[in-house]
Amino acid sequence: MFEFLKPLDKLAAGRNAEYRVSDHMRDHPSTLRTFRGIRWILAAEVLVGLVAVVIAIVLVTHDVEVQWAVWFRSVGVLGITITLYYFATRAAEGYYWAYSRLRLFSKIFPIVTLVVAAIPGLYPLWMTIEQIIFSFLMIGIGDLLTTDHMRDAFPKPGRAADPDAGSAVSDPPLG
């Protein structure tokens, strides 16, 4: 469907770029519902990022100095969210690599964000609040991705799927 993304997939996925989970599990109502929820959460993440940029712009237009860290963080959140949306889209299409990246980042980003938010004086209060909101939204994505159903739907390449779950997968291509 998205053939133009194949080179980007290869870069992001490595050797398992073509490995996909079974159609049965990819199209399962629970899987579809989970990815719908993730898209909504990511939309909220974009809104949080845009609000941060708008606040910074409003402050600058009112002659308030905005630290470089605020600009860096604001642009970074939008970039991260776009990347996560790409992973979510590819994972919803059944690509294990995208699911695993999304799951990994949904665990790492909240920790990093909260640690950075705890550094005294680095960000103004409104930016610290933005980081906490971002972290909680990311934790929500992580929770959705680690349900029993999602772990069954996205078995690691080369690992046999649970036959009771009906998620037979093909072996990844060699080479």
pLDDT digits (tens, 9 = 90+) for 89-144: 999 999 999 999 999 999 999 999 999 999 999 999 999 999 999 999 999 999 99
Mean pLDDT for 33-41 is 97
d(CA 131, CA 158): 37
Domain locations along the chain: 22-155
pLDDT in tens, 57-69: 999 999 999 999 8
pLDDT reported for residue 146: 95
pLDDT higher than 80, residue 149: yes
Q: How confident is the model at residue 170 (pLDDT cuts 50, 70, 90)?
A: very low
How high does pLDDT run on average in the chain?
85
| DSSP bridge pairs for 95 | 20
